[in-house]
Structure 1
Amino acid sequence: MIVIIVVLAAALSASVAANRYLRPRMVTETDQGMKVQELIGPMQTLTILLLAFVLVTASASYAQAGDAARREAHELAHLAAMATYAPEPQQSQLLQDVVCYARTVRTAEWPAMAAVRSSDASDQWSHAFRGVFRTLRTEQAFGMLVAADDQRSLAREERVAQASPSVPAPIFWFLLTVLAMTVIALGIAVPHRDNRGQLAALVAITVLLGGALVIIQNVDRPFDRLINVPPTAIHTVETQVLHDLQAAHPGAALPCGADGNRA
């Protein structure tokens, strides 16, 4: 976002300078140049042609990231439900591991996805699930638990994958360059005198175009920036499974702390 602001601020400054020093040498004073209404047209055209497709692509990626996060939470809740068919002590152990896994996803993996990577803290509880499964090979619940955990793992992989930007960096820089050049060109077209209205419109266009790029940059990193997908769904599952565990096994001590790391 800082880069966008710096580049477009520089473009706006160059635009005003071009209007003040370059336009008098290129256009006669009798030419009134572009009116404010005429400046709105290029703004709309540029916004639609250059930004619409990229904004739709980034928004779709954001929506897919949210879907993947909710799907993982659903599959984790399903795994917890299947764990109730396992005998003790494996049932209690699996429910405890589900709570701890959810905590590490919320506290460790969500920040890690800002760097487009998973968390080792969550991996350890995935391994813990499978360690319990190995002790249930002769039980009827074994197949259901393995299938449920496989779906959870796939949903987690999709969530982590959606942390990667969907808009390649060259395309983003191309858009920023084109918009900066457009702002400068519009500055040349603004009349040299009596131009307060046109300059105000030019500033507004620059702010709106920059805002569109900032939105794209934010929604394109769904687990980072200002517009992000929160870990609400996984936190809901964590709370629900913990409540069920405490109701069925009063006084059961979790093998992890509030951040999900082993106690």
Structure 2
Amino acid sequence: MQFKDILKVTGVLLVPLMLGVATMMLTIQNTIDAKENREKDLDIAQRERDQTADLAEEERQDNRLIEYLNGISTLMFSTQPLDPLLRAKTMSVLRQVDVKRKREVILFLYEAKLIRSDMNSGIPIISLQDVNLDNVDFSDLRPPYTQVISNFYYETRIALRGVSLRNTSFQRRNLYRSDLAQTDCTRSNFSSVDLLEVDFSYAKLVECNFENARFNSVNLQNANLSQSNITDEQLAKALTYQGAILPNGTSLAILLFTLSSSTRDGSSSTEL
């Protein structure tokens, strides 16, 4: 067989082989494309389901909030005892809504004068003891010096005793005579806040931000101020910080005892 014949035979054999390889590669590519398209379709479908679920949850929470506000408004005009019902309904709704709607609930209760400390007894109509308000943003987000005096918190006396307020912000608010005793305010933001006569007794104020906060007669008795940025000038304006844990972790009670012992020892040495 001549070389020319060999080439002819080889050419005849290569054509179907190349066609087979091309067909196989095309099939593989089509399979890959089909898989990617299925994954994209599944991803789109999942996003649509998530979006639908999110919208449904938003609607559910809006309806729950509206139902609560309407129910509380009706109760306020009824003749039956309010305190137990109001607290029960409030505790229930605050467990079911997100932080944005928790803020709306607190705004409503404050404006309705249901969580303001009574001028005489200091006790609010609704106690929020043990309520979780972590991560709620109560900041005044308007530019400084433009706040309207009649707006939320300017009369204050808001009663939040025993509430969990971790990572909560009150930036640029006025908390005049507010009751934040026994609260957990870990990593909360009190920057540029008016803290006139605020009760922080037995509060956990670990890592709190007090930058530019205005202190005047603040009760810090037995408060935990560990790793907060409260200044000596602010502490000096407190009503009391007896038994408090200072930012460096030192207990004021231990510090005073140490200083007292040192003073007595010094006096004894002098007498000797």
Q: Quick one: higher RCO (CA 8 Å, sep 6+), 1 or 2?
A: 1
TM bin (shorter chain): under 0.3
- Say which structure is richer in helix: 1
Task: Give the TM-score taking structure 1 as reference length.
Answer: 0.27
Q: Which has the larger radius of gyration?
A: 2
